[in-house]
Amino acid sequence: MSRQRRNGVLMLLGPFMLLFGLTYLLPLGYALVLSFFREKFSGIGFDGPRRVFTWFDNYTRALTDQEFLTGVGRVLLYGLVYVPLLIALAAVLALLLDTALVYGKRFFQALLFLPHIVPGLVAAIIWLYLYTPGLSPVIDAFSALGWHIDFLDDGVLFSLVNIALWGSLGFNVVLIFVGLQAVPRSTIDAARIDGAGEFRIALSVKLPQVVPTVLVATLFTIIGSLQLYTEPMLLRTSGDSPITNSWTPNMLAYSSAFNSNDYHYAATVSVLIAVLAGVLSYAVTKFASGRTLR
């Protein structure tokens, strides 16, 4: 590679790598360092806390902490429901928008993308209102039909999935739809000449061509699902909600840091979440690459 080309690559990638290092790698490295220490008091504690290097004690504590393990289980269950449902709906809607039978594509794209513009906190407040008995017109309508549904008690997990779907579906539809625009029109025209209908073209021609785009959407969704925090934290304010301050790993990290002043344990939980996200992302990438090679 010539020196001029190398400089061009550095100019293009340099700002991204700098921001990536400052906003992701540096905080993660600092959290990793904190996770190997613990605050201890000497004597009767008049001298204040003393930072002590404890090796992997915080990780042992986290991996045997029932609150942390239960929170990880909830987040994994949430992701098991949310991720496939979101990707499937996004792919179907993107394929529908890409057919020649749909009119007003720009309008429907904007309509689907609109909830993504709403901040997560505002969306959670709106849905908290819609989920609260005595305030929600939706619950009143269900009650009038004889259906008594408590969205904030036994169905809280599906309530969170619904909020996430409402906010993220449009973004993923647009992402996959943009990928569909790169599919050669000549390939689609050839399939039509061979007698394939729109449904067969969507499944056999278009969808295989956008597997990398679907993979990117899946990775983003998996990472986002592991960071579940805002929605359950706000729904927790309802008196009928079973959500506690350690309901998800992120909530446990926040509570440990700002309620218990145990920043080292909070850092440990954060590092474990990052590791879990990396492992799941790697597994999905390997699975998808294996399927693509076939």
pLDDT band for 108, please (50, 70, 90 cuts). confident
Residue type, 241: S
For residue range 43-94, what is the model confidence (pLDDT) as tens digits? 555 566 778 888 899 999 999 999 999 999 999 999 999 999 999 999 998 8
Q: How far apart are CA 35 and CA 273, in angstroms?
A: 13
User: Which of 131, 145, 165 lies closest to 236 in space, CA to CA?
Assistant: 131
The stretch 238-259 carries a mean pLDDT of 86
pLDDT score, position 9: 76
CA distances from 248 to 158, 220, 222 (A): 15, 19, 15
Locate 192 and state its tokens. Answer: 């039509």
Q: How far apart are CA 209 and CA 182, in angstroms?
A: 9
For 199-209, write each residue's pLDDT tens digit.
788 888 888 88
Taking only Cα atoms into account, the Rg of the chain, rounded to an integer number of angstroms, comes to 24
| Percent of all residues in the chain with a pLDDT value above 70, rounded to a whole number | 91
pLDDT digits (tens, 9 = 90+) for 114-146: 777 777 778 778 888 888 777 778 777 777 777
Higher pLDDT among residues 76 and 231, named by residue: 76
Q: Is 228 left (phi over 0), alpha (psi -120 to 50) or beta?
A: beta
Quote the pLDDT of residue 230: 85
Q: Which residues pair with 51 in a beta bridge?
A: 39
187-209: average pLDDT: 81
What are the boundaries of each domain within the chain? Answer: 51-293
- pLDDT at position 76 is 94
Q: Phi first, then psi: what are they for 39, rounded to 5°?
A: -85, 125
Which tokens in the block code for residue 74? Answer: 């909830």
The angle at the Cα of 157, spanning 153 to 158, to the nearest 5 degrees, equals 100
Mean pLDDT in residue range 241-259: 89
CATH homologous superfamily of 51-293: MetI-like (1.10.3720.10)
